[in-house]
Structures are given as C-alpha cells and as structure tokens.
C-alpha cells in the first residue's frame, strides 16, 4: 500500500513538473511569435525584431537561424571554399593578426583617400584569376548534393563532385537573380573584390550538372529552365558589427575623425572595406545591409550592436559581401521608400579608396556605365541573354547615382583637402 502511494505521489510530481514545462513552452513560443510578427507603427509591414525587419519587402520566407550556421561549421573545405588572393598575404597577415598592430604614419593622403601604405595591406578578396578558375569549374561540375546551409529554403548549399561547395540562389523571381548577378559585375567594374565569384546556371533535371539532385529539386519545387545563381561558398565566415564611426550616433567616417589615428591597422583595413561597401550599396540602392539597420533604428535602438545583414568576415579579416539580390533591380524599384536612408549612409562617408574613386570618376566622365556593365556581363556570362539586362530606366538611374556619388566625392575633397 505504502509502495503504491509512493508511486502515486511520484507520478503526481512528474505530472506537475510536466505541466509547468508545458505552460512555459507555450508562453515562450507565443512570445517568439509575437517577436516575429511585430508590426511597424503606422505601417503595414510585418517585421522581425532581429535584423531582418524589412524582409517583408522581399516576401521570402526566412529559414531558421540554425540552417545558416550549417554552412559555417564545416571546416573540411577543399577547392572553391575561399582560396583568397595570396600576394602579400604574409605582410597583411602580420598587420591583421597577433594583436592590434599600429599603422605608423597617417592613414590618409590627399585629404580624403586611404593611404598608399594601407592600400598595400588591403586584401584583394577574390582575385580575377581565382574567380575565373572557379567560374569555369562551377559551370561544368556536377552538383551531387543540395541541402540547407545558405539561408532561406530557396537558397541551397550545393556540393560539387569534387567536394567543393556553392550557394545556389533560386530567387522568387528573375529580378533577384538579375540584381545579384549585375551587382557582382558592377563591383568588378569598380575593382571591388569582396563578392564571391558567381555564375548563372539553367536548371534542367536532364542535364549532367543537375541530374544527381533532380529529386531534391522537385521537392523544392524548382522550375525546370529557371536561371539560378551559384556563388562560391567560403568556409569559416563570421558576422560583422557596423564599426563605431559608421553608427548613427557618431559623426561618420571623415578625415577629421581623431579616432582614425588611434585605430589598429586591422581596424583601418576593415574601415577601408566598409568605404567600398557603402559606395557599392549606394550605387545599387541595396537596402539589405546598413540601410535596413538605419531604418530599423526607429523601433530597435540596439540594432547597430548586432551583426550586419548579408555581410561576413573571413578569419583573416576580409569582408565578404553576400546576398546582393536587392541591388539594382529591386532596390531601384523601391527607391522611393529607401532613398533618404541611402543618402544618409552615403553622406556619412568622406574617406575613400583612391582606385574606387577613380573608377567612379571615369564612369561619370564617360557616362558609359550602362555599356561597360552590359559588355562585361555579356562577355563573362553565357546565360546573360536568358536573364536579360537592366531596363533603360534603371540603367539611367545607375548613371545618375554614379554622378551623384562623384559629386559627393568632390564635395568631400573640397571640404577636407586643406587638412
């Protein structure tokens, strides 16, 4: 009898614990739902309190965070998993690893340009040769596996027959694939090498490249003949928080910033890459990085303390600009909503890489951004005809933005060259 009542009591106790756990889990998940379903005051956009508040504009379901980490944890990378440019590698390494190394001397020259010495230390993210080699391979190699690991479900981590990997972006429409691809080539025109190499591929379950994953493609409901982009997958990437000078509460990245003289070489090299990032995002009207953070500041005052969307860092400290699908096409279409934030971000920067500024000046002087971008895209990408190019209206917008950017650089020069 005593044994029975002891068992009964134990059972009762377990039930009580179970109920508490059940109620707590339900509460937790309700809170979580509330967080994801947050609505912007005065607006109809559903938003996420993490860093993806503007996501609704893209109208793409976001995969759970866990899936993102999948890609980063794999360390047995082989070909195509981030073989960066090797020239001057050790020189840069000594500046970037082993504690804060001071630059010695001024980080700037001629008022608004990063110094030659810093330029020498700056990594060339993905070299032209490396990118060409990867692109040739990515067009031919068979895909043997598709799995999560590149963000939302419409992006898949592909493994090629040699074990190397790529992120396949299906895109909810051709605009996104076009934006991603043309941004890659625009960066290339500007000499910005932080974007992983990219190729287009046309899905076909009969083709040699896709045959092995046809069942998975069916499961994902990927349409036959759709054109997708493949970008080189890079191992061991980590998140990047916006550096202090570029945060809203500070005055921006400009030559009279005292802080520049106290920064380590590694910090300066990162700021240099940010100056290119801001130029690229302004030209392409890509709101899906710093600009979206600025927008989200309205209701999330600590957003700048979190990782910036679509920006990652290699262990060596090179920034990798991923997911550029909001650029050029979609970004231009929704420009009315984002332009004031784009302007704010651009006006916060008055220090540039000399070469980037020179290329902007050249595109401004010749007024040939459309032709140069189209020629590079057409000559480098066999599927360019399938995907198409910018409309005349969007090509004109690109040229306008180049002109505005050039004027901004001249304005900075006039303001700071006396320093």
Ligand X SMILES: Nc1ncnc2c1ncn2[C@@H]1O[C@H](COP(=O)(O)OP(=O)(O)OP(=O)(O)O)[C@@H](O)[C@H]1O
Binding site for ligand X (CB under 6 A): 52, 62, 68, 71-72, 150-152, 155, 167, 196, 231-234, 237, 309-310, 322-323
Residue number, 267 or 323, with CB nearest to Mg ion: 323
Residue number, 323 or 381, with CB nearest to Mg ion: 323
Give the footprint of Mg ion on this chain (CB under 5 A).
310, 323
196 binds, among ligand X, Mg ion, none (CB under 5 to 8 A by kind): ligand X
Q: How far is the CB of 369 from ligand X (least distance, A)?
A: 26
Q: How far is the CB of 245 from ligand X (least distance, A)?
A: 24
Cα–Cα distance measured from residue 123 to residue 271, given in angstroms and rounded to the nearest whole number: 12
Q: How far is the CB of 71 from ligand X (least distance, A)?
A: 4
Between the two ends of the chain, the Cα-to-Cα distance in Å is 93
62 binds, among Mg ion, ligand X, none (CB under 5 to 8 A by kind): ligand X
397 binds, among Mg ion, ligand X, none (CB under 5 to 8 A by kind): none
Q: How far is the CB of 381 from ligand X (least distance, A)?
A: 18
Residue number, 155 or 293, with CB nearest to ligand X: 155
Residue number, 62 or 244, with CB nearest to ligand X: 62
Cα–Cα distance measured from residue 99 to residue 412, given in angstroms and rounded to the nearest whole number: 32
Closest CA relative to residue 122, chosen from 246, 265, 254, 264: 265
342: its two tokens: 């784009």
Residue number, 145 or 355, with CB nearest to ligand X: 145
Q: How far is the CB of 165 from ligand X (least distance, A)?
A: 8
233 binds, among ligand X, Mg ion, none (CB under 5 to 8 A by kind): ligand X
Report the residue number whose CB is nearest to Mg ion.
Answer: 323
Q: How far is the CB of 282 from ligand X (least distance, A)?
A: 20
72 binds, among Mg ion, ligand X, none (CB under 5 to 8 A by kind): ligand X
Report the residue number whose CB is nearest to ligand X.
Answer: 151
Q: How far is the CB of 214 from ligand X (least distance, A)?
A: 23
Q: How far is the CB of 54 from ligand X (least distance, A)?
A: 11
150 binds, among Mg ion, ligand X, none (CB under 5 to 8 A by kind): ligand X
401 binds, among Mg ion, ligand X, none (CB under 5 to 8 A by kind): none
Residue number, 58 or 402, with CB nearest to Mg ion: 58
396: its two tokens: 């004109």
181 binds, among Mg ion, ligand X, none (CB under 5 to 8 A by kind): none
Residue number, 186 or 234, with CB nearest to ligand X: 234
Q: How far is the CB of 118 from Mg ion (least distance, A)?
A: 29
Phi, psi for residue 118 in degrees, rounded to 5:
-65, -40
Residue number, 209 or 231, with CB nearest to ligand X: 231
54 binds, among ligand X, Mg ion, none (CB under 5 to 8 A by kind): none
Residue number, 125 or 255, with CB nearest to ligand X: 125
Closest CA relative to residue 243, chosen from 226, 263, 227: 263
Alpha-carbon distance values, 91 to 40, 87, 261, 269 (Å): 48, 9, 21, 13
């Amino acid at each position: 009898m005593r044994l029975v009542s002891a068992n009964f009591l134990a059972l009762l106790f377990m039930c009580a614990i179970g109920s508490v756990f059940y109620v707590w889990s339900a509460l937790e998940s309700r809170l979580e739902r509330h967080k994801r379903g947050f609505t912007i005051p005065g607006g109809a956009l559903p938003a996420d309190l993490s860093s993806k508040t503007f996501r609704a504009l893209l109208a793409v379901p976001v995969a759970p965070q866990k899936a993102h980490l999948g890609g980063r944890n794999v360390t047995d990378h082989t070909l195509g998993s981030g073989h960066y440019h090797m020239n001057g590698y050790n020189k840069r390494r000594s500046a970037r690893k082993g504690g804060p190394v001071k630059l010695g001397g001024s980080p700037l020259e001629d008022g608004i340009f990063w110094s030659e010495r810093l330029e020498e230390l700056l990594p060339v993210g993905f070299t032209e040769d490396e990118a060409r080699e990867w692109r040739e391979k990515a067009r031919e190699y068979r895909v043997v596996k598709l799995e999560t690991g590149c963000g939302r479900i419409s992006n898949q981590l592909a493994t090629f027959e040699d074990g190397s990997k790529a992120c396949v972006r299906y895109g909810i429409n051709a605009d996104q694939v076009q934006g991603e691809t043309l941004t890659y080539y625009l960066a290339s025109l500007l000499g910005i090498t932080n974007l992983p190499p990219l190729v287009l591929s046309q899905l076909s379950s009969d083709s040699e490249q896709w045959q092995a994953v046809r069942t998975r493609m069916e499961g994902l409901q990927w349409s036959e003949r759709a054109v997708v982009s493949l970008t080189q997958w890079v191992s061991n990437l980590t998140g990047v928080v916006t550096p202090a000078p570029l945060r809203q509460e500070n005055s921006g990245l400009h030559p009279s910033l005292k802080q520049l003289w106290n920064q380590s070489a590694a910090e300066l090299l990162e700021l240099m890459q940010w100056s290119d990032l801001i130029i690229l995002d302004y030209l392409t009207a890509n709101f899906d990085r710093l600009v979206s953070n600025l927008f989200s500041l309205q209701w999330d005052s600590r957003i700048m303390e979190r990782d910036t969307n679509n920006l990652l860092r290699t262990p060596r400290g090179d920034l990798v600009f991923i997911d550029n699908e909001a650029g050029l096409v979609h970004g231009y279409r929704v420009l009315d909503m984002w332009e004031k934030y784009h302007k704010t971000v651009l006006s916060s920067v008055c220090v540039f890489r000399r070469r980037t500024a020179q290329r902007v000046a050249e595109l401004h002087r010749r007024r040939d951004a459309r032709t140069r971008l189209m020629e590079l895209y057409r000559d480098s990408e066999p599927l360019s005809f399938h995907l198409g190019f910018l409309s005349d209206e969007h090509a004109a917008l690109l040229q306008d933005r180049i002109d505005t950017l050039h004027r901004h650089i001249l304005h900075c020069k006039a303001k700071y060259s006396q320093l």
